[in-house]
Structure 1
Amino acid sequence: MQVKRNIREIKQALRKRYRAYRESLQPAEKEKLDAAVRRRLFRLPVYQNCRVLFIYVSKPIEVDTVRIIQSALAHGKHVAVPRCIPNTYQMQFYFIRSLEDLEPGTFGVLEPSVERCRPVSDLRHGLCVVPGLSFDTQGYRLGYGKGYYDRFLSNFGGQTVGICYRACVPWNLPHGYYDRPVDLLVTETYIRKTGSRPAGHQEERHD
């Protein structure tokens, strides 16, 4: 019990640290970092070749995903955005055709309108852009503590990519046996294949 409490306290301290860093970013600096992350994401073959993109709508302290969504839609990709299921810690993805299909939802985050959007039923394929306050070098993530994405990723069969600021990437983070690392990590300065792939396939690209 003491170990669980200590890990919980460590995670809370890390969340506070990385949230403070993100909140300290000036708008011009954040836009510069966001643009660099986008460029690297767009160059990934797994992104260029995916037909279905699972992606969240970013909060102000997160890497901006609105422009990613706009670009994906403009290039003919099927874009799926999550909606939290009331009274649970689960979410359902819906296909959107434009940003007009979004409305304020849980925690004030924009979510797809159930009246206007079709739910996603096939989770076997696609690329999922995963949120996180922090990712470590092995691809394990530190979320907001509610477990929405942990539950979703346990049933997702496609590939995953985390997008994060380099200053929020420590060498390692506390994680459990069943936690799933992302397949790729993209920051403003590099792209990294993570520990979810065989060690011989790991690479780090600073370009």
Structure 2
Amino acid sequence: MNGKRNIKEWKKNLRARHRQTRERMDPKKKLQWDAAIENRLFALPEYRRADILFTYVSKAIEVDTFGIIRRALADGKAVAVPRCVPGTFEMEFYYIRSPQELEKGAFGVLEPIPESSRKVEKETGGLCVVPGLAFDSNGFRLGYGKGYYDRFLSGFHGVTAGICYNSCVQWELPHGYFDRPVDILVTERYLRRIAVRKPGAHACK
């Protein structure tokens, strides 16, 4: 039990640290870094091949995805964004045709409007842009602690790309036995393809 409590406390401290790093970013530099990350993402062959792009809708401290959404729509791709299911820690993805089809939902994040959007009933692949307060060199992510993306990614069959600022990437993060690393890590400085790893390798017990 002490080990679990220690890991929980470790994650809490890491979240606070990386949130602070993001909040202190120079706005002009953030714009430049967001553009560099977008360009690296768009250059991926996995992006060019994807018929559907799953992506989060960014908050102020996150890598901006509004430009990614607009570019993907302009490129003729189907774009799906998440909605948190009330009363659960699950999320569903809905197709949108414009960022204007979003409204404030859980945690103040913009979400699709179920009544005017079509839900993704069967996920058959594509590229998923994954958020994270931090990532490590093995592609594991530090989320906000609710587990929404962990649950979704456990059943996702496409390619995953984590986008993150270089200052929020560290050598190793604590992770669970069944946590799934992203396939590709994209920062403003580099792109890293993650080697396939077995579940649980070097996991925190």
Structure 2-normalised TM-score? Answer: 0.95
Q: Distance in 2 between matches of 1:37 and 1:131?
A: 13
SS of corresponding position for 2:87 = coil
- Alignment match, 1:202: none
Q: CA deviation at 1:49?
A: 1.2
- Alignment match, 1:103: 103
Q: In structure 1, what residue type is equivalent to 2:40?
A: R
Conserved? CA contact 1:183–1:197, under 8 Å: no
**Runs of 4+ with >4 A deviation:** none
Q: In structure 1, what residue type is equivalent to 2:51?
A: R
- Alignment match, 2:70: 70
Matches within 5 A, 1:52-63: 52-63=52-63
- Superimposed CA distance per residue, residues 121-148 of structure 1 (whole angstroms, 9 cap, x where no aligned partner): 1223111000000000100000000000
Q: Which runs of 5+ in 2 are unaligned?
A: 199-205
Q: In structure 2, what residue type is equivalent to 1:4?
A: K
Q: CA deviation at 1:197?
A: 6.1
SS of corresponding position for 1:160 = strand
Q: Distance in 1 between matches of 2:189 and 2:26?
A: 18
Matched, 1:4 2:1: no
Matches within 5 A, 1:46-195: 46-195=46-195
- Superimposed CA distance per residue, residues 47-79 of structure 1 (whole angstroms, 9 cap, x where no aligned partner): 111000000100100000000000000111000
- Superimposed CA distance per residue, residues 134-190 of structure 1 (whole angstroms, 9 cap, x where no aligned partner): 000100000000000000011111110000000111011011110000000000010
Q: In structure 1, what residue type is equivalent to 2:151?
A: R
Q: Distance in 1 between matches of 2:191 and 2:127?
A: 16
How much is the aligned-residue C-alpha RMSD, in angstroms?
1.0
Conserved? CA contact 1:53–1:77, under 8 Å: yes
Conserved? CA contact 1:139–1:196, under 8 Å: no
Q: In structure 2, what residue type is equivalent to 1:30?
A: K
Q: CA deviation at 1:29?
A: 1.0
Q: In structure 1, what residue type is equivalent to 2:35?
A: A
Conserved? CA contact 1:51–1:78, under 8 Å: yes
Q: Distance in 2 between matches of 1:118 and 1:126?
A: 17
Q: Distance in 1 between matches of 2:133 and 2:194?
A: 17
Q: CA deviation at 1:115?
A: 1.1
Aligned residues: 198
Q: Distance in 2 between matches of 1:177 and 1:196?
A: 15
Conserved? CA contact 1:50–1:126, under 8 Å: yes
SS of corresponding position for 1:115 = helix
